[in-house]
Amino acid sequence: MRTPIIAGNWKMNNTISEGLQLVGGIKSHNLNQDVEAVLCVPFTIIQDVKKAVENTNIKLGAQNMHWEENGAFTGEISPKMLKELGVDYVIIGHSERRQYFNETDITVNKKIKAAISHDIKPIVCVGETLEEREANIEKDVVKSQILKAFEGIEEKDLDNIVIAYEPIWAIGTGKTASSDDANDMILFIRETIGEKYGEKKNVIRIQYGGSVKPSNIKELMDKSEIDGALVGGASLVAQDFVDLINF
Ligand SMILES: O=C(CO)COP(=O)(O)O
């Protein structure tokens, strides 16, 4: 049985005061304890959100990190720094980072390895563009992203890795992949993991992301292969995030 995991990706939103107000709104509700709830917040708020979620089951995540522990990498944040802040999860290879900040399959792979070696759980993002889907190559694209991301990753680490399938055309557009299409791709990702790791494919958790909201979460979560959601816009509204966790 895989524990459902619903993670909010705040992206570049919320000052400290705005973020604390949002967390306060979320905490004022009862949350389904059978669902793992994660907040992936900007670096500037991590310490404050960490304090705010003490004594709750809400987990803390970052949205990116460098793979080195320290060094001459101006503007970067290292896994060691995140670990000291008590971060549980880190999003790796989000499509916005691949698109705007030159994230590649090679850096994604290095970051996954660095996260694991620092005991931070990576949420590894994959997904195709609209052009790739229209050209019917979406599965080739996603398979290639998965195989490159997992290069050199050991079987024992799969318990601590989450994959997020986020079709780029569904992010922030209001267009959700149909629950059948999302389930179909996530099954394909699971089979790809199975080709490399055998039965371990059944333990790795795979989320769907892209315009997930309270009105479509249940249909997605009812699907056999979908273990959770990575949520942008709807995670910025306390009531919506609570409704997602309590789907
Ligand atoms: O990119 C996403 C989460 O990482 C999805 O964003 P939206 O939920 O706003 O479409």
Contact between 91 and 130 (Cβ < 8 Å): no
Residue 81 has, within 13 A of its CA and on its CB side, a CA count of 17
Catalytic residue among 36, 94, 96, 103: 94
Instruction: Give the residue extent of every domain in the chain.
Output: 5-245
- Return d(Cα 110, Cα 106) in angstroms, integer: 6
Question: What is the Å distance from ligand 1's center to 95 Cα?
Answer: 10
pLDDT for residue 174: 84
Is 5-245 a domain of CATH 1.10.10.10? no
Predicted TM-score (pTM) of the model is 0.98
68 catalytic? Reply is no
Atom of ligand 1 nearest to the CA of 94: 4
In 3D, which of 7, 64, 15 has the Cα closest to residue 38? Answer: 7
Q: What is the pLDDT of residue 177?
A: 86
The answer to whether 228 touches 207, Cβ cutoff 8 Å, is yes
Whether ligand 1 lies within 6 angstroms of the CB of 211 is answered as yes
Secondary structure, 3-state, 161-200: CEEEECCHHHCCCCCCCCHHHHHHHHHHHHHHHHHHHHHH
* C-beta of 209 in contact with ligand 1 (< 6 A): yes
pLDDT tens across the length of the chain (247 residues):
899 999 999 999 999 999 999 999 999 999 999 999 999 999 999 999 999 999 999 999 999 999 999 999 999 999 999 999 999 999 999 999 999 999 999 999 999 999 999 999 999 999 999 999 999 999 999 999 999 999 999 999 999 999 999 999 999 888 888 999 999 999 999 999 999 999 999 999 999 999 999 999 999 999 999 999 999 999 999 999 999 999 9
Task: Say if ligand 1 is within 6 A of residue 172 CB.
Answer: yes
Q: Return the pLDDT at 54.
A: 95
Q: Cβ distance 40 to 63 under 8 Å?
A: yes
pLDDT for 172: 87
Was 183 annotated as part of a binding site?
no
Q: Write down the catalytic residue from 36, 128, 132, 166.
A: 166
